[in-house]
Amino acid sequence: MTAISLTASKSALAASLYSVTDLGSLTGKAYSYATDINDSGEVAINSLDSSFFYSNGSLKKISPLPGDNVLAVSGINNLGQVVGNSIGKTDSDNNVFIYSGGTTQNIGLKGIPYAINDSGEVVGGTTGGGIFPKLAFPYGAAFLYSNGTTTIINNNLKENYVAYGINNQSQVVGIFGSSSRAFLSDNGIITNLGTLPGDRYSQANDVNDSGQVVGSSGLTGVNDTRAFLYSSSTGLEDLGRLRPTDLFSSSLGINNLGQVVGFSGTNNNFFAADGNGLRAFLYSDNTLYDLNDLIAPGSDAGFTLTAASAINNNGQIVGRGAVNGELHAFLLTPTSSVSVAEPTSGVPILSFGAVVILFATFKRRPYSSNAAIQQTT
């Protein structure tokens, strides 16, 4: 494995400057964060007690399923469909829903959804309930919901699986196993993406339509991860961390241009209102940028951008940031392309054939040879 330092060349690169829209101020909440954005600039947003759909400068509050009172949203597709889950006062199970056109539809599954593609396919994690027998998958199962049919992705039911991302080719990524490894599922074939050298843990968070995967890899997965970018042709690439003092980084989203967003920092309190040492990053043209350095003059709105969760194919970015002692959802929109000097510190790129990280908590276990399980709602 060969380390290639990006400090070898200090030539200027073309990079966008961004305007900042404070989506959190629209919610009227002191705490909010944006989870996903589609190519029309529509955004899924959560606060402590509400969820919202942002479109063309206006905000709509998303209602939980009938009988439920708490909800969260996670993904949005180019049809404006938002996926999320809600919970009732007496029911501790998460009821998966799709929000579209102002209404929420129960898909009949208990679990936590994380992503939805343009075909309306939803992926996430479940331990049973709803259309499946309660606790049918006590160690955790990754699910794929498509056209009324739910498929369990696990190739065994004695190992934990959670799916975090899906592209428009129905390729699915996530984490699996007692050893905690990132996986890519393609047409029923599950590939273990491995870890960066010396690591024992990995997780895949997103995948674009070219099959490029992003996530993180670490020794333990706690305060020690490194963001990665994977493709079948190059294998796993270590994207590094923003600053020499940073202890961890993670890539959360990728668009079809191969641009990656995520965060880097020194403390894992991701939702601290003061930023707490976290910085949102953009990886583009083989360079890792601090997004705080790419804000157009006069447009920062007092923000410290702490984490970027998604980027669309027009280069718009959403995430969360600290402003006036509060944590607000933000939307970044490219305003121009300018020459930006490369970062002064080198970002090592390590190439080999593997990838990984962690995000949700479903229990794990050893092996069993079970085929995919389907249930129709």
What are the per-10-residue average pLDDT scores of the chain (377 residues)?
31 71 95 98 96 97 94 98 91 91 95 98 94 87 96 90 98 94 95 95 98 96 93 94 95 98 83 75 96 92 93 98 94 77 36 24 29 39
- CA neighbor of 69 nearest in space, from 51, 88, 52, 50: 88
**Dihedral angle, C-alpha 264, 175, 164, 111, nearest 10 °:** -130
pLDDT of 356 reads: 23
Rounded to 5°, angle at Cα 14 from 8 and 17 = 125
Rounded to 5°, angle at Cα 116 from 22 and 56 = 35
Return all residues near 298 (Cβ < 8 A) that are at least 6 apart. none
pLDDT of 140 reads: 93
pLDDT of 236 reads: 95
Q: Which tokens in the block code for residue 44?
A: 């899924």
**Contact (Cβ atoms closer than 8 angstroms) between residue 82 and residue 114:** no
pLDDT of 11 reads: 33
**Contact (Cβ atoms closer than 8 angstroms) between residue 255 and residue 208:** yes
**For the whole model, what pTM was predicted?**
0.86
Which of 110-113's residues contact partners 24+ apart within 8 Å by CB, and which partners?
Answer: 111/85, 111/143, 112/74, 112/85, 112/360, 113/74, 113/75, 113/83, 113/84, 113/85, 113/145
**Contact (Cβ atoms closer than 8 angstroms) between residue 310 and residue 37:** yes
pLDDT of 323 reads: 93
Give the sign of the dihedral formed by CA 253, CA 277, CA 44, CA 127: positive
Burial class (CB in 10 A: 0-12, 13-18, 19+), 57: exposed
- CA neighbor of 51 nearest in space, from 81, 21, 85, 25: 85
pLDDT of 267 reads: 74
pLDDT of 14 reads: 55
